[in-house]
Amino acid sequence: MNTAPISWRIEAEPIMLMPEEFWARYDHSNMPEKFESSNGMLFWNDEERLHVLGMLLESIGLRRALALCSPEAIRAASTNSESSG
């Protein structure tokens, strides 16, 4: 099982991972074995949630992911991240 940090390749448009990149992500210690929920949240911890989200964002691209969000939510998230950094 892989435990190395992942260098995510999240871009505006979907990317195609090479087979070795895909399996390094899929066989990672943060990849949950199955979809489970607890207390209204998917998976057991933030590391698992972020790992799955990273894989999904690579597969779908930011453009389509951001289309799910309201412009207000995007502005609020952008403003908060800039002021806290």
Q: What is the pLDDT of residues 31-49, one digit of tens each?
A: 999 989 989 999 999 999 9
Cβ neighbours, 10 Å, residue 2 = 14
Spans in the chain with pLDDT lower than 70:
81-85
d(CA 10, CA 74) in angstroms, rounded, equals 17
- Return the percentage of the chain with pLDDT > 70, whole number: 94
- Its pTM stands at 0.82
